[in-house]
Amino acid sequence: MSLAETIYRTMFVKPHPAGYPFIGGALALAIVLLLIWKPLGIAGLFLTAAVYYFFRDPVRMVPQRDGLVVSPADGRVISVTPHQSLPDDLSEEDENATYTKISIFLSVLDAHVNRTPIGGEIVKTFYYEGKFLNAELDKASEENERASALVKLENGKLLGFTQIAGLVARRIVTNLEAGQKLETGERFGLIRFGSRMDVYLPEGVNSLVCVGQRALAGETILADLNSKEKQRMAKAI
């Protein structure tokens, strides 16, 4: 892909509908500032462009093979931790099983539209009004404001994922509800202004991403339910 194509695909895309009020408000402010003083108006237009960029909703090429788990968010993989329990708000559905938790940190420069990591039926959702700690901290998974969902897979196993608000993020948008059936890579919400996503892989499923790796929502493969490949490791070179 050429540089021009990369820039076009990254920046010149439709925004998520949740961003329309913010984009419209920033544009209205820019117009008022232009009437007051042109330099302020130009700054307002730059602000409008920044808000538009934040709410961008790029088209993604979602892998279509059974068993693939894709990233639910753009960002950097900050931890891959085996032998974890589901969050307390979901654990009653599967109290004794353990999971591999993959955590992805979204900066304010990342696209914030979230996508389902795998297709299946939503069996439970939960919203918790918590704190706004730095999303890179481990305790953010337990103490921050978050929205969790549990998916029942075709093989009967469960996979969980959680949207977590961060230090700057103050609003989680989600449209998931119990009984809903979703496809892999389907849009389901966003988190405004920096955040984190946790994915809980079923027991026996290894992560195919490494700490420090960049992920793209709907495209980067986090795991393969039908593969016995060992946990991937990496080193910076």
pLDDT tens figures, 109-123: 888 899 999 999 999
Same domain? For 17 and 124 the reply is no
Average per-residue pLDDT in the chain?
86
> Is 195 an annotated catalytic residue?
yes
| pLDDT above 70: percentage of residues in the chain | 86
Same domain? For 45 and 143 the reply is no
Residue 30 phi, psi (nearest 5): -60, -40
Q: Is residue 197 part of a domain?
A: yes
Domain enclosing residue 17, as ranges: 3-54
Beta strands (DSSP E) in 107-194 are: 113-115, 120-128, 146-152, 158-165, 172-174, 181-182, 187-191
Q: Is residue 114 part of a domain?
A: yes
Rama region for 18: left / alpha / beta (φ>0; ψ in -120 to 50; rest): alpha
pLDDT of residue 108: 83
Q: Is residue 231 part of a domain?
A: no
Q: Is residue 60 part of a domain?
A: no
Which residue is catalytic, options 148, 195, 207, 227?
195
pLDDT of residue 206: 92
| pLDDT above 90: percentage of residues in the chain | 46
Same domain? For 217 and 142 the reply is yes
Same domain? For 20 and 91 the reply is no
Same domain? For 137 and 163 the reply is yes
pLDDT, greater one: 112 or 130 = 112
Our count of domains for the chain comes to 2
Same domain? For 82 and 24 the reply is no
Q: pLDDT band for 93, please (50, 70, 90 cuts).
A: low
